[in-house]
Structure 1
Amino acid sequence: MAQYDVIVIGAGPGGYVAAIRCAQLGLKTACVEGRDTLGGTCLNVGCIPSKALLHASHQLHEAEHNFAKMGLSAGKVKVDWKQMLSYKDDVIGQNTKGIEFLFKKNKIDWIKGWGTIPEAGRVKVGDETHEAKAIIIASGSEPAPVPGAKVEVDEKIVVTSTGALDLGKIPKKLVVIGAGVIGLEMGSVYARLGSEVQVIEYLDHITPGMDPEVQRAFQKLLQKQGMEFTLGAAVSGVETKGGKATVTYKLRKDDSDHTVEADVVLCATGRKPVTKGLGLDALGVKLTSRGQIETDAQWQTSVKGIYAIGDAIEGPMLAHKAEDEGMACAEVIAGKHGHVNYDVIPSVIYTWPEVAAVGKTEAQLKEEGRAYKVGKFSFMGNGRAKAVFAGDGFVKILADKDTDRVLGCHIIGPSAGDLIHEICVAMEFGASAEDVALTCHAHPTFSEAVREAALACGDGAIHS
């Protein structure tokens, strides 16, 4: 029986980061993973491969729409779908092999297989049982079924995000169920590649939880790119026949029934935690009403010595949230102080333009009754953005009306996913909008738009 200080179950972003941090802190560490490669959903069938396809399809868009404007003539660009998928797979391989290297570098044992916890302090993988002073559950999440609908996923015609990354061919017609991050990113990929894309969403707006002004602007930009939206619609079922799929849905505004035929249907209605097979019921580990693992402020479950992080517990299902929890949980187990500031966790949608947010929305501040001010700046006033045909979108900063402390930021525009982190750092240090406004920003950069929005919280932006 192998003995460890810590055994981590799951090698996704939360799990592998937790394992590496534990090893760095001097703890003998093992990580249990049943996939053939490390990295979990994110590196294998999620964040990384989707970004590869988003990048490739964006380059196609640039070639088709902007090259000629810049004096670049290369003839009609052809899409080699097999090569694009090969490029995507190569990106996956580079990243997963990188994690394997880090495990070896930090002397972390990779226990290959699926783990169960027969009792506190023990993890069983296959016929072998391993002992550990602490166990971290980082089992991640999986695609959730379409609520209230009869849908059978075959990952060929009716697919989840996993199947959408590896289609046999580019569909002529793609129906996306769900207007969240996954649905819009993958819908954007195939729209650029020539598919007719229709997004069906139960709510009356896209990107649930985001700032309403961003939602409206984002939808208009995606519609300009050819994506069609059917909002306020409840999908009741998907049937497949003759290599096609028929989606049935009901419009909530008038209770009318509709059908649409597609070559591929992407089910993108969220994700659910993976907890089955771990033996949690027998252990007495408490779960929430949504099936997530309950933890205390130090990520410990209701059973002493068993911890949980990432998508398996409450909070946004984001890789970087899982990574933060992984590091913090490792610190706690090592007898140090682990901390995650859940008020400063950014979210990003990697379409073009990108969308990013951190902190409060206007709707939340109004609900709290908190007095606030808004500083907004359009990318049309940013010289760098105009030079690269990226003038769509804006930066919006929300600050406390009395103290000027930054409460939130919402960006739709070029490199929004990178720009948001200036505000994350500002919020982490309790900075004011004036602090951001008084900080010199290099010219010409997209980041100047952030400074201008901060200036707009005070006496006014310069370039608007």
Structure 2
Amino acid sequence: MNQYDVAVIGSGPGGYVAAIRCAQLGMKTAIVEKYSTLGGTCLNVGCIPSKALLDSSHHYEDAVKHFEEHGIEIPGEIRVNLEKMIGRKQAVVDQTTKGIQFLMDKNKIDVYQGMGSFQDATHIAIAGEKEEVVIEAKNTIIATGSKPATLPFITIDKERIITSTEALKLKEIPKHMVIIGGGVIGLELGQVYRRLGAEVSVIEYMDRIIPGMDAALSKELMKVLKKQKVKFYLSHKVKSVERKGDEVVIKADDKKGKEISFSGDYCLVSVGRRPYTDGLNAEAAGVKMDERGRVEVNDHLQTSAANIYAIGDVVRGAMLAHKAEEEGTMVAEILAGQKPHIDYNLIPGVVYTWPEVAAVGKTEEELKEAGVAYKSGQFPMRALGRSRASMDVDGFIKILADKETDEVLGVHMIGARCADLIAEAVTAMEFRASAEDIARMSHAHPTYAEAVKEAALAATEDRALHV
């Protein structure tokens, strides 16, 4: 029986990063993955493939709508080859997952392919295609991630009633895609297919889209997506989804209780994700779950079994790949006797629509609810020379700072390249910067990042320069 200092169950961003960090710190490490490729949801059916399709569809939209304005003339009709687009997405996925395998080899981490389940707190049975093996691990990190959630009355048939996994490999462009859920995943995939020519309708239970983010971002993103002809039905409670041949009929009650019927050739169910612990047999190891199916952990991500830890989507907190990575690193360093720390308030959230949406820290709603006195500075992207040069004029950057100390409490942005710009805000907030600190830093001209400086100036005695 092979013995290890650490076994990691699950090879997503949390799991494989935890394994690498453990190996770097001198621990003999194994990683267990039930699927044939490493990388988990993020690399195989999540972050990476969705970004590949977002980029491809963005190129198509630019060619159809904007090239002529840039002085680029293309003779003949511009057409979508969906099969080729999906093929390119898969090539990106394959290249990325092979990269994880390379990193496992480089760090001398043993990879076991098969379903891992606890026999007890130190023994893990791995059921592969041909045989079952058992390994012994002094410590184990559970990194089994999440799966798409659904509603109890919906049957996902993976053909017409689909989740994000199937939406990444459709064989045709939908005529009308009805999306249940106005969160990150639904909006990203909805924009992909809207660009390619599908009619897209979004049904959301809450009174706004991306409900976890600052309300100003929700409002601006919806305004932009409406201009792109995406239809929204907010405060609608879906009550039935039925397939009739190649048609899917969705019935929902609006906020007045009136029944509304929708029909499309595809229905994307995008109502969040659920922790995935199926087959883990956690109870055999003495690992407790909470009422939502998540693994219970303390502040050190330690479970009720002292030698077993859990990270990522399977524990409390935001279901984000980069949050899982930070937790994987933290657990590895705890096991090595170090004292790492994560500030969960400073883990950014991003929506990869175009314009991109990104945020870190507290929203205005949260500050109001907590009774914190704050000031706000906002700057529109359309006032930037860089935005006008690239024709990306939608959006704004908003900085919230403490009214007395000027410390930055939250940064909320929507616009071109905001997924990258948010890193500046995270860095500033990690160092407890004030709005004036950011305002006095030199930002290269012309860049989108100048909007961060201008928003900071606006928060500092309302002295933005270019509005």
Residue 281 of structure 1, CA deviation: 2.5
Partner AA of 1:199 in structure 2:
V
Partner AA of 1:389 in structure 2:
M
Correspondences of 1:15-34 after superposition (within 5 Å): 15-34=15-34
**Distance in 1, Cα, partners of 2:166 & 2:33:** 21
1:204 paired with 2:207, answer: yes
Partner AA of 2:288 in structure 1:
K
**Distance in 1, Cα, partners of 2:6 & 2:352:** 35
1:378 paired with 2:383, answer: no
Q: Please, what TM-score do these two structures have when normalized by structure 1?
A: 0.98
Q: Deviations over 1:238-264 (max 9, x none)?
A: 11122211111111x221112111110
Where does residue 140 of structure 1 map in the other structure?
145
1:426 paired with 2:428, answer: yes
Correspondences of 1:48-447 after superposition (within 5 Å): 48-75=48-75, 76-126=77-127, 127-146=132-151, 149-251=152-254, 253-447=255-449
Gaps of 5+ in 1: none
**Distance in 2, Cα, partners of 1:241 & 1:107:** 52
Q: CA contact under 8 A between 2:118 and 2:284: conserved in structure 1?
A: no
Q: CA contact under 8 A between 1:29 and 1:108: conserved in structure 2?
A: yes
Q: What percentage of aligned pairs have identical amino acids?
A: 53
Q: CA contact under 8 A between 2:178 and 2:201: conserved in structure 1?
A: yes
Q: CA contact under 8 A between 1:23 and 1:29: conserved in structure 2?
A: yes
Residue 291 of structure 1, CA deviation: 1.2
Q: Secondary structure at the match of 2:346?
A: coil
Partner AA of 1:56 in structure 2:
S
Q: CA contact under 8 A between 2:176 and 2:266: conserved in structure 1?
A: yes
Q: CA contact under 8 A between 2:121 and 2:284: conserved in structure 1?
A: no
**Distance in 1, Cα, partners of 2:466 & 2:290:** 50
Q: CA contact under 8 A between 2:180 and 2:270: conserved in structure 1?
A: yes
Q: Deviations over 1:355-374 (max 9, x none)?
A: 00000000000011000000
Q: CA contact under 8 A between 1:175 and 1:262: conserved in structure 2?
A: yes
**Distance in 2, Cα, partners of 1:150 & 1:396:** 40
**Distance in 1, Cα, partners of 2:229 & 2:18:** 42
**Distance in 1, Cα, partners of 2:16 & 2:341:** 18
**Distance in 2, Cα, partners of 1:324 & 1:366:** 29
Q: Secondary structure at the match of 2:42?
A: helix
Q: Secondary structure at the match of 1:69?
A: coil
Residue 284 of structure 1, CA deviation: 2.9
Q: Secondary structure at the match of 2:237?
A: strand
Where does residue 456 of structure 1 map in the other structure?
458
Q: Secondary structure at the match of 1:301?
A: coil
**Distance in 2, Cα, partners of 1:439 & 1:258:** 52
Query: 279-288 or 178-187: which moved more?
Result: 279-288
Q: CA contact under 8 A between 1:298 and 1:338: conserved in structure 2?
A: no
Q: CA contact under 8 A between 1:122 and 1:132: conserved in structure 2?
A: yes
**Distance in 1, Cα, partners of 2:365 & 2:74:** 47
Q: CA contact under 8 A between 2:121 and 2:286: conserved in structure 1?
A: no
Residue 415 of structure 1, CA deviation: 0.3
Residue 289 of structure 1, CA deviation: 1.8
Query: 58-67 or 344-353: which moved more?
Result: 58-67
Q: CA contact under 8 A between 2:417 and 2:448: conserved in structure 1?
A: yes
Residue 338 of structure 1, CA deviation: 2.2
Aligned residues: 461
Query: 43-52 or 338-347: which moved more?
Result: 338-347
Q: Secondary structure at the match of 2:104?
A: helix
Residue 282 of structure 1, CA deviation: 3.2
- State the Cα RMSD in Å: 0.9
**Distance in 2, Cα, partners of 1:281 & 1:347:** 33
Query: 351-360 or 230-239: which moved more?
Result: 230-239
Gaps of 5+ in 2: none
Q: Secondary structure at the match of 1:27?
A: coil
Q: Deviations over 1:165-210 (max 9, x none)?
A: 0111010000000000000000000000000000001111110111
**Distance in 1, Cα, partners of 2:306 & 2:281:** 15
Q: Please, what TM-score do these two structures have when normalized by structure 2?
A: 0.98
Residue 457 of structure 1, CA deviation: 1.0
Q: Secondary structure at the match of 1:402?
A: coil
Partner AA of 1:123 in structure 2:
I
Q: Secondary structure at the match of 2:459?
A: coil
Partner AA of 2:378 in structure 1:
K
Where does residue 39 of structure 1 map in the other structure?
39
**Distance in 1, Cα, partners of 2:285 & 2:18:** 23
Residue 118 of structure 1, CA deviation: 1.2
**Distance in 1, Cα, partners of 2:459 & 2:349:** 23
Residue 283 of structure 1, CA deviation: 3.0
**Distance in 2, Cα, partners of 1:231 & 1:162:** 24
Q: CA contact under 8 A between 1:330 and 1:338: conserved in structure 2?
A: no
Residue 324 of structure 1, CA deviation: 0.4
**Distance in 2, Cα, partners of 1:67 & 1:78:** 14
